[in-house]
Amino acid sequence: MIAKLTGVVDSVGTDWVVVDVNGVGYQVACSNRTLSRMAVGERRALVVETFIRDDRITLYGFADAGERDWFRLLTTIQGVGSRLALSILGVLDPDQLTRAIAAQDKTALTRADGVGPKVAARIVNELKDKVGNLTLGASAAAPAAGGKAAPAAGGPDNMVMADAVSALVNLGYGRSEAFGAVVAAGRKLGDGAGVSELIRHGLKELSQ
């Protein structure tokens, strides 16, 4: 099984790249985000996931192990195949995807081609308890029961953080970015931070 390829980029297509490794060209399917880093003639390394079917072998390439780990997780969801997983990873990097799942932000997921509300809801529901086990992002705090955002260790309680997130969403920010800003603010402020403090510091985080 091929797990990594390092070579010269030979050609780039709409959803694939050919990597020349010592004279052998490997065609690898990639997300748009990974493809944007590929330039013909440059030397690149790809983390690879190998799919073996009865009639063919397909290679999927990723810029880093974090993207590959999310690909593996996404393809465990019913209705999410390899192409759809790449579509999601093309619009959300691993950290953004972690925040979207933690914040239960279905809208962020529907930005990917082929992901409708039902599929987005299924992804969030099935993965929300797993994001805490991923080492893909600093703000990957899993939501508590009832959709409340879980605080970082030593931070404000769930209800206070949920109210601060709701306030930022009402100001026009996306749920994922609001969640990430409040988590970051909560870590800086620590225990005892109130809603108004979290909102104020959350806005500072969002402005950076």
SS (H, E, C) 140-152: CCCCCHHHCCCCC
Residue 14 has pLDDT above 80, yes or no: yes
Q: Report H helices in 4-157.
A: 32-35, 65-74, 82-91, 94-102, 106-109, 117-127
CA distance 153 to 199: 19
145 vs 155 pLDDT, higher one: 155
Residue 36 has pLDDT above 90, yes or no: yes
Q: pTM for this one?
A: 0.70
CA distance 94 to 70: 7
